[in-house]
Amino acid sequence: DAGVIQSPRHEVTEMGQEVTLRCKPISGHDYLFWYRQTMMRGLELLIYFNNNVPIDDSGMPEDRFSAKMPNASFSTLKIQPSEPRDSAVYFCASRGTSYEQYFGPGTRLTVT
């Protein structure tokens, strides 16, 4: 099993640009989670999906952030326009029938 796959692993962009982060969950998992980690705020849940449907997006910071899950094997987190304060490590996690969430390696985003 390849685990949760995230791409890109590193992204550097300029303020105002659109950024798209991608996630492939573990096959067969029906829950998908997006988290953000910063030194100031720690690890925060942004949004999670069940069977491709967004269940709770209360953690999404503002309208510049959007997430989609068009099918069971792919999800995106988009930031448009990006700002320097969006710089963080973004993690995707998935969960199946067991109790544990499996996290991906993360995408380190730097907005200059």
Partner 1 sequence: DAKTTQPPSMDCAEGRAANLPCNHSTISGNEYVYWYRQIHSQGPQYIIHGLKNNETNEMASLIITEDRKSSTLILPHATLRDTAVYYCIVTPGAGSYQLTFGKGTKLSVIP
Query: Footprint of partner 1 on this chain (CB under 8 A)?
Result: 4, 31, 42-45, 48, 55-56, 91, 93, 95, 99-106
Going by the DSSP 8-state scheme, the letter that residue 25 receives in this structure is P
Q: Which residue's CB is nearer to partner 1, number 74 or number 102?
A: 102
Min CB(44)–partner 1 separation in Å: 8
Which amino acid is residue 80, in one-letter code? Q
17 or 38: whose CB is closer to partner 1? Answer: 38
Q: What is the DSSP string of 85-109?
A: GG-EEEEEEEE-SSSPPEE---EEE
